[in-house]
Amino acid sequence: MNVSESLRVVHGACPHDCPDTCAMQITVQDGRVIKIQGRAEHPSTHGALCTKVSRYAERTYHPERVLQPLKRVSRKDEAPRFEPVSWTSALADIAARLKAIAARDPQAILPYSYAGTMGMLQGEAMAGRFFNRLGASLLDRTICASAGGAALTATYGHKLGMHLRFYAESKLILIWGSNSIASNLHFWTFANQAKRAGAKLVCIDPRRTETADKCHQHIALLPGTDGALALGLMHELITNDWLDADYIARYVDGWDELREKALAWPPERVAEVCGISADEVRGLARDYALTAPAAIRLNYGMQRVRGGGNAVRLIALLPCLSGAWRHRAGGLLLSSSGWFAPFKNPELERPALRGDKASRVINMSTIGDDLLRESSAEFGPKIEALIVYNSNPVAVAPESPKVVRGFQREDLFTVVLEHFMTDTADLADYVLPATTQLEHLDVHTAYGHTDVLINHPSIAPVGEARPNTQIFRDLAAAMGFTEAAFADSDEHLARQAFKSEIDFDALAEQGWQSLPLKEAPFAE
């Protein structure tokens, strides 16, 4: 075989929790990935990947990767020791333990997952079916962005925003609470295009970041004071008659109450609270009101403080008051994820499999407290089993000492699907080897643009690793679940993920499909 015959290129998608959801091009030689690049044709990736993803193959081939099922042989308060076991043995034992717990109360079993992959298949497609059929407790996935998401939903009805590409046409861009160069690289590409075309870029951030250094102006407000600054800008829009009165009359509810609140925040008060000058408040308000189209790019860091959700709401109201939403290059973007909701198949996780079983909900952010609770009428059954996938709660969940104590319970049965021995895996009863993005099929939405992407597997699974979808199929079989939903292949799942507006065959061939959407979502 010559060199050209041994090489092939596969279309993929980045799995990480990042707004950019990049289209990848993976080069494989003799069954091994040798290069990962961004796809030049994709309208937001433009051929560029961050360093983390361009080196993703190092994760797949890392010598410390978990490549076979492991069973705990030490106590949880000791240094962790595991022994390799077969998949057959692991699945049989896990199923037996889960059956015994479910016989008492299936709500004593809790799935714990987040965004270790953002893919719909390796996320919740088959896992959701398994836990719905089991009748396990439900998980409220709040750990990252729930405050900002709730704020957008309360303000706009959905988590919607500007289209990424139109930032290139903006004349003023407020980059608010976002170090875009470091964490939203492809937005920065469009912002930089606008800058080269004469747009003014303003970074609003307590820290002088790489992004702040590249903007025309940096407003270094004190942490947690974003809402006060937004109210101050509203004050100036009102007192200088810089409002779009027609837009407000048509589309803004509760304007009189908001107006009263904003008038209590003159620039001098804002300056005292935010640690900036009153002239900075006035100047920013003037630029925002008198420059069109004006755009705001928010990110999630600013909503992770007390009152952060309300701050997002206030900032999200600014383009409603100025009329910036009339322009396709005006408005705001925090998340585009709501655009995908009408196109997704709500039955993908088969909620009907739950039947009439009770549905207790556990907030993932309180897992430390909840693992230490006893059974009660208010709480329900004590948590006896955890299935952890796409997450590392011991490292990321709040109140770490409580989380560790909870996971150290000898009477807690914990199964972790992982690539490596993480802090959570160290406290598991079983660690099951999961595939990486280069080894499985998946489909992805985004929260920074409006394209659906497909990830084709580039190589066969390394070692004994299995996709999450297959692990949950295997667990379903071991539990004796016979419903047809558990026989769906990954391709069947991918074909079921979206409604008819997304052509799966075209998606599979091109690598992405753009949602059919209006250019200016709130123009009227």
pLDDT for the residue 302: 87
Rg of the chain on CA atoms, in Å: 25
Q: Work out the average pLDDT over 353-373.
A: 95
In a domain, 63, yes or no: no
- My answer on whether 246 and 203 are in the same domain is yes
Check: CB of residue 475 under 8 Å from CB of residue 130.
yes
- Residue-level pLDDT at 210: 96
- pLDDT-derived band at 4 (thresholds 50, 70, 90) equals low
The string of pLDDT tens digits covering residues 463-500 is 999 999 999 999 999 999 999 999 999 999 999 999 98
Per cent of the chain over pLDDT 70 is 99
Q: What is the pLDDT of residues 167-198, one digit of tens each?
A: 999 999 999 999 999 999 999 999 999 999 99
258 within some domain: yes
What is the model's pLDDT at position 6?
82
56-89 pLDDT, tens digit each? 999 999 999 999 999 999 999 999 999 999 999 9
- Same domain assignment for residues 324 and 405: no
Position 482 in a domain: yes
Asked if residue 101 and residue 79 are part of one domain, the reply reads: yes
- Asked if 184 and 277 sit in the same domain, the reply is yes
Q: Mean pLDDT, the chain, as a whole number?
A: 96
Please state the φ and ψ torsions of residue 342, each to the nearest 5 degrees: -65, -15
Cα 280 off chain centre by: 34
CA dihedral 53, 58, 61, 67 (to 10 degrees): -70
Give pLDDT, residue 77. 94
Count of domains in the chain? 2
Q: What is the pTM of this model?
A: 0.94
Confidence at residue 66, expressed as pLDDT on a 0 to 100 scale: 99
Asked whether the predicted pLDDT for residue 1 surpasses 50, the reply is no
267: how many CB neighbours lie within 10 A of its CB?
Answer: 23
Q: Mark which of 308, 334, 360 sits at the end of a domain.
A: 334
Task: State the pLDDT confidence band at 351, using cuts at 50, 70 and 90.
Answer: very high
Query: 397 lies in which domain range?
Result: 70-143+343-501
Residue 323 DSSP code? T
Q: At residue 98, does pLDDT exceed 90?
A: yes
Residue 5 has pLDDT above 70, yes or no: no
Same domain, 330 and 380: no
Are 252 and 321 within 8 A, CB to CB?
yes
CATH code of residue 127 = 3.40.50.740
Residues 319 and 423 in one domain: no
Per the domain annotation, does 2 fall within a domain?
A: no
